[in-house]
Amino acid sequence: MNRLQKMKLKTTLLKMREDVKAKVKHIENENLGKSQKDASGDLSGYSLHMADVASDNFERDMSLGLVANEQELLYKIDAALIRLKERDFGACQKCSKDIGIRRLNAVPYAQMCITCQEQEDKHLK
């Protein structure tokens, strides 16, 4: 992989990182930063209906899951940026062979070549 390709991938990773951080911030502000009463829009002093509470809890759980997924993606992006800095970027973490540029263009934070990733996915099933 040449220097220009690495620079483009670094730019892509930095943009992805900012997008993920903005998405996490949005989820936190919209769903996780409010009390249950505020989230439901209930302005009265009466207690909430059990179905409303369950729905709100489900929505919060879903938001927490989304944040966890985005945090995992952020970790992978940061790890790729570190590998770029240490000049270890583009090498499979399992077999040490080069990760194809097409794969890196599709998944710039990829840690494994397509062959090793497929083997890993088979083991997880």
CATH code of the domain covering residue 64: 1.20.120.910
Share of the chain above pLDDT 70, in %: 84
pLDDT in tens, 12-70: 999 999 999 999 998 888 876 665 555 555 544 455 667 767 777 788 888 888 899 99
Evaluate whether 112 touches 96 at the Cβ level (below 8 Å). no
Q: Please report whether residue 80 resides in a domain.
A: yes
47-86 CB burial, b ≥16 within 10 A, e <16: eeeeeeeeebeeeeeeeeeebeebeebbebbeebbebbee
Is residue 46 included in any domain, yes or no? Answer: no
Counted domains in the chain:
1
Residue linked to tokens 């397509």: 114
In the chain, the percentage of residues whose pLDDT exceeds 90 is 61
Domain that holds residue 88: 3-36+51-124
pLDDT at 38: 55
The answer to whether position 43 is within a domain reads no
- Of residues 123 and 60, the one with the higher pLDDT is 123
Return d(Cα 109, Cα 83) in angstroms, integer. 10
Residue 42 in domain:
no
Q: What is the pLDDT of residue 34?
A: 61
Residue 98 located in a structural domain: yes
Cα 36 from chain centre = 26
